[in-house]
Amino acid sequence: PVMIEAEGLTKQFGSFLAVRDVSFQVPRGQVVAFLGPNGAGKTTTMRLLTGFIAPTRGSARIAGIDVQADRIAAAERLGYLPENGPLYP
């Protein structure tokens, strides 16, 4: 079964297009990472997947739950450690 699904995720801040039409699926039980240069859209994509920000277009689902429809239920099923996470030094 699919655990994480992005479908046509797009995020625009004014005239700046941060993420354009990103689609992918991650099967249950798989550990993944985003790799790429600064400014590639990794952090914005994660913020879209976690419901921290809303997409301009597209959708994200965690364990079949639409992130925009029920952010809390989706977040309960996703482990995410940002680069500057809320951990002690």
E strand map for the chain: 2-13, 16-27, 57-62, 65-66
DSSP 76: T
pLDDT score of 4: 95
| Exposed e or buried b per residue across 55-85, where buried means at least 16 C-beta atoms within 10 angstroms of its C-beta | beebbbbbeebebeeebeebbeebeeeeeee
Q: What is the pLDDT of residues 23-81, one digit of tens each?
A: 999 999 998 888 999 999 999 999 999 999 999 999 999 999 999 999 999 989 987 77
More confident residue, 82 or 53: 53
pLDDT score of 88: 65
